[in-house]
Amino acid sequence: MLKRLVLAFAGAALLLAGNVRAADSPLVLLTENFPPYNMARNGKNFAQDENIHGIAVDIVREIFKRAGVPYSLTLRFPWERIYKLALENPGYGVFVMARLPEREKLFKWVGPIGPDDWIMLAKADSTITLDSLEQARQYKIGAYKGDAIAETLARQGLNPIVVLRDQDNARKLLNGQIDLWATGDPAGRYLARREGVGDLKTVLRFNSAELYLALNKEVPDDVVARLQAALDELRKEGAVDAITARYL
């Protein structure tokens, strides 16, 4: 009887030790190329740790540092794969992700990290003013082929002129080949800056979403709370705005 009790106690102790180690294991964070939030320094579709940068990457690194939570970071492709990995594997997370109603109960959330708005950009000296998407119908609109923005505009009959690289729309706008550029914010502004185009203005904002770090539901609540508190502290100090300004 005593022997069975000793073995049972030893087994429980080993199980507890295993749980402690699991709790202390680094979170596995996954991301994709999504400028200016997440980017591989070499432009490839695979990178790890210090070979990844961007607004969200810098913010997430500072969050985990302040919260004292260990992690590893990998950028890979495609999005569907890393989404599924984070959804199905304890100790995994993925960013940046729009916090949509249909996803709300699938993950635990830390954020918001930044916006992902849909906007219409025009030249700085343009006289175009818009109060609705319908009013844009009379203009030549540039968009990025295959992007959700372009597909939405096409479904609504606005017939965007699409290109294979969204940054090409910045030059087309300046050259008068298009009147408006339908793009994301801050992605559009970042791409324009890389093309040396800075004199643009937003004439319409027609969709808004907030981007988050999504964590597997098995990540402990206290870890999520520590990460959220660290982000709130960063935002209060103005550090989130400072990081964003470095890229935009």
pLDDT tens per residue, range 192-217? 988 999 889 999 999 998 999 999 99
Task: Indicate whether 233 and 198 sit together in one domain.
Answer: no
Task: Indicate whether 27 and 50 sit together in one domain.
Answer: yes
State how far the Cα of 129 lies from the Cα of 208, in Å rounded to an integer.
19
Task: Indicate whether 74 and 89 sit together in one domain.
Answer: yes
State how far the Cα of 177 lies from the Cα of 81, in Å rounded to an integer.
37
Is residue 158's pLDDT more than 50? yes
17 in a domain, yes or no?
Answer: no
- Residue 23 has a pLDDT of 52
14 in a domain, yes or no?
Answer: no
Token representation of residue 95: 């960013």
- Choice between 235 and 10, residue whose per-residue pLDDT is larger: 235
Task: Indicate whether 121 and 201 sit together in one domain.
Answer: yes
Task: Indicate whether 29 and 111 sit together in one domain.
Answer: yes
For residue 160, is the peptide bond before it cis, meaning its omega torsion is within 30 degrees of 0? no
Task: Indicate whether 111 and 223 sit together in one domain.
Answer: yes
Task: Indicate whether 172 and 224 sit together in one domain.
Answer: no
State how far the Cα of 203 lies from the Cα of 136, in Å rounded to an integer.
10
Amino acid (1-letter code) at residue 107:
F
The pTM for the full model equals 0.76
11 in a domain, yes or no?
Answer: no
Task: Indicate whether 214 and 184 sit together in one domain.
Answer: no
Average pLDDT in the 75-104 region? 93
For residue 196, the domain's CATH number is: 3.40.190.10
59 in a domain, yes or no?
Answer: yes
18 in a domain, yes or no?
Answer: no
State how far the Cα of 120 lies from the Cα of 161, in Å rounded to an integer.
14
16-48 pLDDT tens trace = 333 333 457 999 999 998 899 999 999 899 999
Task: Indicate whether 83 and 144 sit together in one domain.
Answer: no
- The rounded percent of the chain whose pLDDT value lies above 90 is 74
* Host domain of residue 27: 23-115+210-247
6 in a domain, yes or no?
Answer: no
Burial class of 66 by CB neighbour count within 10 A (0 to 12, 13 to 18, 19+): middle
Amino acid (1-letter code) at residue 111:
G
Rounded to the nearest angstrom, the gap between the alpha carbon of residue 142 and the centroid of all alpha carbons in its chain is 23
Q: What integer best gives the mean pLDDT of the chain?
A: 89
Q: What angle do CA 200, 203, 206 make, to 5 degrees?
A: 125
> How many domains does the chain divide into?
2
234 in a domain, yes or no?
Answer: yes
Task: Indicate whether 100 and 65 sit together in one domain.
Answer: yes
- Choice between 133 and 16, residue whose per-residue pLDDT is larger: 133
13 in a domain, yes or no?
Answer: no
Task: Indicate whether 216 and 238 sit together in one domain.
Answer: yes
Task: Indicate whether 239 and 170 sit together in one domain.
Answer: no
Q: Enumerate residues 6+ apart whose C-beta is below 8 A from 84.
A: none
> Comparing C-alpha atoms, which of 102, 95, 75 is closest to residue 215?
95
What DSSP state is assigned to residue 140?
-
